[in-house]
Amino acid sequence: MKRFTFGLICMLMLTGATLWAAGDATKGKTLYTTCITCHGADGAGNKALNSPQIAGQEDWYLERQLKNFKSGVRGSNPKDTFGMQMRPMAMTLTNDQAIQDVIAYIKTLKPKKLEPTLTGGDATRGKSLYAVCVTCHGANAEGNKALNAPKLTGLQDWYQLQQLKLFKNRVRGADPKDTFGMQMAPMAMTLANEQAMKDVIAYIKTLK
């Protein structure tokens, strides 16, 4: 009987921990008010404020980036102007539960169809360049959680260009604690110049 009782208590404790770890979208909606100014009420982002679309992005990737911003792994480099703007916003999320809650709310938002803003990219050349990306991000840029690679479809072209430049210049992915960012930096370095970046982005835009 004692063994049964002890086992039941353990099971309830584990269940409780699971429930605590799950995000609460209702609480997350309140927390999201901090995000609205830049990312919009619909999570579609705002180019004028250098804020990407976050609606439709994977929860595990959102969690990792929020924690990176909060801890200073991302957004502390003075050359990362827009990352530095994001870091204090992430710091308003006081603990892991708050992060899970706001992500739970973001998951209720539907991604918008993105309009192209970049010109001059050659998707045919970009397809060849994308061969470096395909192992991690997938043939259709759908991402791969096992390889810690986010999906690239659903991200604005201007934001992709911005981040490729940051990776190439070792502004992003330079912190030794940013394990996965450090993996991405040499991949960005294979793109010789901005034209190559535009080409690969033009190809990504053809994927669904």
Instruction: Kindly compute the dihedral angle of the four CA atoms of residues 23, 27, 31, 36, in this order, to the nearest 10 degrees.
Output: 90
Q: In degrees, to the nearest 5, what angle opens at C-alpha 22 toward C-alphas 18 and 27?
A: 140
Is residue 137 part of an annotated ligand binding site? Answer: yes
> In this predicted model, what pLDDT tens digit does every residue of 94-133 receive, in sequence order?
999 999 999 999 999 999 998 999 999 999 999 999 999 9
**pLDDT band with cut points at 50, 70 and 90 for residue 21:** low
Is 1 one of the annotated binding-site residues? no
Q: Does 133 carry a binding-site annotation? A: yes
Give the three-state DSSP class for 10. Answer: helix
The residue among 103, 26, 18, 109 whose CA lies nearest residue 67 is 103
Measured CA distances, 148 to 69, 102, 178, 188, 197 (Å): 17, 21, 12, 16, 21
Looking at CATH, the fold of the domain delimited by 24-112 is given as Cytochrome Bc1 Complex; Chain D, domain 2 (1.10.760)
pLDDT in tens, 36-95: 999 999 999 999 999 999 999 999 999 999 999 999 999 999 999 999 999 999 999 999
Q: Coil, strand or helix: which one is 155? A: coil
Q: Where in the chain is the domain with CATH 1.10.760.10?
A: 24-112, 114-208
Domain covering 114-208, topology: Cytochrome Bc1 Complex; Chain D, domain 2 (1.10.760)
Is 136 annotated to bind a ligand? Reply is: yes
Which residue in 170, 197, 201, 195 sits closest to 184, CA to CA?
170
Three-class DSSP labels, 33-93: HHHHHHHCCCCCCEHHHCECCCCCCCHHHHHHHHHHHHHCCCCCCCCCHHHHHHHHHHCCC
Tell me if 89 is assigned to a ligand binding site. no
Mean pLDDT confidence for 170-191: 94
- On whether the CB atoms of residues 139 and 153 are closer than 8 A, the answer is no
Q: Is 10 marked within a binding site?
A: no
Q: Which two tokens stand for residue 30?
A: 């309140």
In this predicted structure, the answer to whether residue 16 has a pLDDT above a threshold of 50 is: no
d(CA 84, CA 46): 17
